[in-house]
Chains A and B, each alone.
Chain A
Amino acid sequence: MPEKEDDMDEMQAREEIQLIKNMLEKTRKATAESGTLFVVWGVLIALALVGNYVLVYFKKYDWEWLNWVAVTIVGWVYSVIYGIRRERKDPTRTYIQMAARHLYIACGTGFLLVGIALPGLGVYSYEAIVVLIAAVSGILFFVMGGIYEWPFLKWAGLLWWAGAVGMSFLKRIENRMLIFTVLFIACYLVPSFILRSRYKKAKA
């Protein structure tokens, strides 16, 4: 880039504004959300759902909690290691990334509380877990949609909330799990893989 002359006219002012826009756009692309953690958690939860089905099928109800605890531990350990490595490797740290990281930590803690800790302490019954998980998922996706300016994620968040309300009207846990699985595929797995694909396109 050559040095500019001191005089300035409208054309040069426009060129400088364009340069600023280009740099902002480059930074936005360089720091796009990779979606890796979403995909990893998606696979883990999918495995846990299948594991849950198998355990229920064989009437091993006592092992259901262990299935979810194992997935949660693996997911959290992976997330922490991944977060530390990215922190070290990333050439930049944007304010959007910082906001997103705090959102992930907040919602991750929320999932831990409503999914394992609070029902484990007897605050509410296990049937309520999926309803509360859906409510926290709604927060995660709606806020992400706002941060990354992607309306599709906001809609996913709204659907999670609608699902949480809908599930609360269903009494049988099997029916709640069915709705949860549909929500999980449509409002978690699909956006996660689209996020990943958008990231790959942005990096290409």
Chain B
Amino acid sequence: MTADRFESLDPIIHSQIRLAVLSILISVKRADFNYLKRETGTTDGNLSTHLTKLEEVGYILVKKSFQGRKPLTTCSLTEKGRAAFTRYLKALESYISVEKK
């Protein structure tokens, strides 16, 4: 079995936290920062770093606003992010299906 039989994995998504964030955002219209932090079990700084990476490549949109006096950061998946996530899933499946053959 050679490596070229596997579909290449998007290095941006190939990180557990970024994959977890995209997995949440794929089924929601938007999610706030605290929710993502809680569900991914990470810290503010770490999550911010990963969100910035995803935002830089255009996979997510990060919107900063205020809810009353509290700052509110919400994230949503872009069409580019959705397509990348779908490709990533197909690539993952290729690893499983090729191993089975």
Contact = CB atoms under 8 A, between A and B. Distances in A.
Bind each other: yes
B32 A92 contact: yes
A23 B67 contact: no
Nearest to B92: A13
Contacts, number: 86
Contact of B95 (A10, A20, A24): A10
A95 interface: yes
A6 B17 contact: no
Given A13-B92, A13-B95, A93-B28, A24 B23 contact: yes
A198 B11 CA distance: 39
Interface size class of A (residues with CB under 8 A): 20 to 34
B30 A16 contact: no
A10 B97 CA distance: 9
A1 B41 contact: yes
Given A24-B23, A95-B29, A98-B29, A8 B6 contact: yes
Given A27-B24, A92-B32, A94-B28, A1 B95 contact: no
A115 to B, nearest CB: 32
A91 interface: yes
B31 interface: yes
Contact of B20 (A3, A19, A28, A30): A19
A23 B95 contact: no
B83 interface: no
Interface in A1-45: 1-4, 6, 8-10, 12-14, 16-17, 19-20, 23-24, 26-28, 30-31
Contacts of B4: none
A88 interface: yes
Contacts of A94: 27-29
Interface residues of B, number: 31
A9 B1 CA distance: 12
A31 B28 contact: yes
B99 A10 contact: yes
Nearest to B31: A92
Contacts of B12: none
Contact of A19 (B16, B31, B99): B16
A33 B74 CA distance: 21
B34 interface: yes
B19 to A, nearest CB: 6
Interface string B60-87: 0000000100000000000000000000
Interface in A87-123: 88, 91-95, 98
The 9 closest A-B pairs by CB, nearest first: A91-B35, A23-B23, A13-B95, A10-B99, A1-B16, A92-B31, A20-B23, A93-B29, A91-B32
